Structure formats: C-alpha cells, structure tokens
Amino acid sequence: MLRKIITALVFFALWLLMSGIYKPMIVWLGAASSILAVFVTDRMNRASVRGHMTIKIKPFASVGYWLWLMVEIAKANWAVTKLILTPEMKLNRHMITVPNSQVTDLGATIFANSITLTPGTITVEVEPGVFIVHALDYSSSDMDAMADMDRRVTAIESGVE
Amino acid sequence: MFIAAAIALFISMMLVLARLYAGPTLYDRVLAVNSFGTLTVLFIAILGFLNGRPDFLDIAILYALINFVGTIAILKFFRYRSLGDISQMPPDEGDTL
Amino acid sequence: MTWALVVEIISWILIISGSAFTIIGAIGSLRFPDFWSRLHAASVTESAGMILLIAGMCVHAGLSLVTVKLILIGAFIFLTGPTSTHAVANAALVSGERPESDEEDKKKKGKQVR
C-alpha cells in the first residue's frame, strides 16, 4: 500500500512538472489521473505472469557508474566516427560471447543496455549467463573491456539474494 | 545556431530516408524508421526553440513514446503475425523479444 | 566576457557537435555494407548526437520547466534507444539472418560462432 501511495505521489509530481498550469481544477484533474494510473498499473501487475520487478541498486555508486559510462560512450563514439569517415572502412565484424555475472534482472538489463549504448558493440541475444554481442571492430582487448564493464555493473547491484 | 541544427537534422533525416528506400531487408527498414523517429523527436524540439514556442516539447515527448511503442509493435507483428497476447501465439520461438 | 556569452558559446559548441554526430550517423547508415554494421551507425545518432543536442538545448534554456522536459526526453531516448536496437537485432537473428565474421575469414577457420 505504501508502495502504491509513493507511486501516485511520484506520478503527481511528474504531472505538475509537465503541466506548468496550476489552476485548481486542472490540478485536481492531474491528481485524479495519477490515482487512475496507479489503479490501472496495479491491475496490469496482477494480470502479468512474472510479477513486478524489484529494484535493488546502490543509488550513489550508480551515479559514478553512469559518469564512467558517459566517458566510455564518448570514446566508443569517436572510434566509430573515425571508422565511418575513413574512405576504406576497415571493419572487423565478429560475434563474441560475453559472460555476465549479475544476479538481478535489473543488473543484467543495465549491463546489456550499456553494451548496446556504446557504439561498436550491440547485444544481440540474451542467454542464461552469457550475452551474444556483435562487435563492429573486434580486437582482442574487447573481451577485457567487457569483463571490466561486467565487474562494474555487478558492483552497483545491492541486496544480492 | 538553431537553424544550422535544424538543417543538419533535416539532411540526416533525408539520408536515413534513402536507407529506408534502399532496404534491402525488412530489418534495415525497421532500423531506418526507428532512427528517423529519433531524429524527428530532436527536430521537433529544435523547431520549438527556433519558433520560441517551448510547447513543441510536449509533442516531442509524445512522439518519442509513440516511436518506441511503434518499433516494438512492428517487430512483434512480423515475428508472431499478431499483436495480441503472446501466450495465445504459436509457441515455436519462445517468448523473448 | 559576460556569463550570458559563456553560456551561449557552450550551447553553440554542444549543438553544432551534436548535429555533426547525427549527420555522421546518417552517413554511416548509408555507407556501411551490411545490416549488422548499420546498427552501430544508428547507435551513434542515438547516443552521441542525441545527448549533445539535448545538453545544448538544456544549457540554452537555463533552469526552467523546459529543461525538465528536455531531460525527460533525453532520459527516455537513452533508455529506449538501446532497447529498440536490441529488439531489431534480436528479431533479425531469430528470423535467420546471420552476420558474417571478418575475424574468422582471416583465420580461415570457417567455424561460425552460433
């Protein structure tokens, strides 16, 4: 119940930020629509087979991770930009299998999305324990970079088990 | 400055449209539509600044939401030939999308 | 050198470089030889181009509701962009498209991963 109230409050805050018009009736309509949204989401959660997703992550450590990821994205973008702009494109396309050590679904999702966000590598298939990744310009150091990213994502997971 | 960004986005939209026309596979076209949608979101936002009307950003948010749902819907349709409940679909290919 | 001028120059730099990255991504999606490499070109537009353009517009708008909306758009594309790229790649793999591997052509092994 507390979870639902917090969700409704977050929806209402988001609504206030998006709307920018603060006449009484419009604010009431916003409050009603956020409660309706929570009601509908609750029904959908009960109908789903897998149940709701739990969010277990360290908030402060993940800020550091996002900053690190931004630097990685910048570096990877530069590499792919150079590949696109050279007249003869020296591609070295390769499929690699990357083992992942995350326990929670959210951690695995963050790792897979981070791989896809850095240009040059794309998660193609998710299997238990491994991702299959398509690399645009494969070199032997890529596996080490992937293992490093895997370690960092696992480090921001909390409440394991 | 915003006019330069608008022109650049327009040029990239035309290039992506050329890829959409050239194909050759279905997935190239879905990818091109998805990139075109992302570029459109940015284009609408830039146009809002260009005209001095920040209301355009609401349209951009809506377009971003529809773009994502649309891409997933196209892929789901071509995979299962249906947009309904996955549990009622032929079970040959698993349920991961 | 006033503060407003500094802000203006920063947003200029961010927006112009973001536009450059979107054009580079579009050129890449035209030039690359096969579907699997075009995925990478599209992700240049979606990561670098999008982040730089949104950041430039945020700096220009200053601290207001407009910035909140821009950050919301940016966060949404940041989360859904890789998800839809993965969905396209996964659908192509399931439907039977197999990428060719330059690495194994070099080694002359001829063994396909997966």
How is C27-61 classified by DSSP, letter by letter?
Answer: HHHHHSSSHHHHHHHHHHIIIIIHHHHHHHHHHHH
Give the model's confidence band at B69: pLDDT under 50 very low, under 70 low, under 90 confident, else very high.
very high
Mean pLDDT, all residues of chain A = 82
The B residues from 58 to 87 touching C (CB cutoff 8 Å) are 58, 60-61, 64-65, 68, 71-72, 75, 78-79
If one counts the domains in chain B, the total is 1
Across B70-76, average pLDDT: 89
% of chain B beyond a pLDDT of 90: 35
Mutation test of the interface with chain B: which of C36, C44, C45, C50, choosing the one with the most B Cβ atoms within 10 A? C45
pLDDT at C89 over 60: yes
How is C69-97 classified by DSSP, letter by letter?
Answer: HHHHHHHHHHHHHHHHHHHHHHHHHHTT-
Mutation test of the interface with chain C: which of A92, A95, A121, choosing the one with the most C Cβ atoms within 10 A? A95
Mutation test of the interface with chain A: which of C23, C24, C37, C69, choosing the one with the most A Cβ atoms within 10 A? C37
% of chain B beyond a pLDDT of 70: 85
**Distance separating alpha carbons of residues B69 and B76, to the nearest angstrom:** 10
Contact A122 C47 (CB under 8 A): no
Query: Is B2 within the bounds of a domain?
Result: no
- Closest residue in C to B14 (Cα–Cα): C26
Give me the residue from C19, C57, C65 closest to B4, CB to CB.
Answer: C19
A53-103 pLDDT, tens digit per residue, is: 667 777 788 888 888 888 988 888 888 888 888 887 777 788 888 888 877
Query: Is B11 within the bounds of a domain?
Result: no
Mean pLDDT, all residues of chain B = 83
pLDDT of the residue at C110: 44
Helix (H, G, I), strand (E, B) or coil at A47: helix
For C110: left if phi > 0, alpha if psi spans -120 to 50, otherwise beta; the answer is: left
Q: Is C15 on the interface with B (CB under 8 A)?
A: yes
Query: Is B74 within the bounds of a domain?
Result: yes
pLDDT of the residue at B97: 43
pLDDT of the residue at B65: 92
**Distance separating alpha carbons of residues A140 and A137, to the nearest angstrom:** 10
Output the six-digit token pair for C109: 């092994």
Does domain A59-156 correspond to CATH entry 3.30.70? Answer: yes
pLDDT at C111 over 60: no
pLDDT of the residue at C47: 87
pLDDT at A161 over 70: no
pLDDT of the residue at B90: 54
Long-range contacts from A136-142, C-beta under 8 angstroms, 24+ separation: A136/A80, A136/A83, A136/A91, A136/A92, A136/A93, A136/C37, A136/C40, A137/A79, A137/A80, A137/A83, A137/A90, A137/A91, A137/A92, A138/A92, A138/A93, A138/A94, A138/A96, A138/C102, A138/C103, A139/A92, A142/A96
**Distance separating alpha carbons of residues C70 and C57, to the nearest angstrom:** 8
What is the number of CB-based contacts under 8 A between chain B and chain C? 137
Domain with B73, as residue range(s), is 22-81
Give the lowest-confidence range in A105-109, C52-56, C94-98: C94-98
C14-36 pLDDT, tens digit per residue, is: 999 999 999 998 988 888 888 88
Give the lowest-confidence range in B6-15, B49-58, C8-17, C93-102: C93-102
pLDDT at C79 over 80: yes
B42 vs A98 pLDDT, higher one: B42
**Distance separating alpha carbons of residues C101 and C78, to the nearest angstrom:** 29
Query: Is B93 within the bounds of a domain?
Result: no
pLDDT at B93 over 70: no
A110 vs A20 pLDDT, higher one: A110
Chains that touch C (3 or more CB pairs under 8 A): A, B
Indicate where chain A has its CATH 3.30.70 domain(s): 59-156
**Distance separating alpha carbons of residues B60 and B40, to the nearest angstrom:** 8
Q: Any alpha helices (H) in chain B, and if so which ranges?
A: 2-22, 26-50, 56-80
- Closest residue in B to C47 (Cα–Cα): B38
Contact B15 C49 (CB under 8 A): no
pLDDT of the residue at C113: 45
Q: Any alpha helices (H) in chain A, and if so which ranges?
A: 2-19, 24-47, 59-85, 105-117, 142-156
How is B10-36 classified by DSSP, letter by letter?
Answer: HHHHHHHHHHHHH--SHHHHHHHHHHH
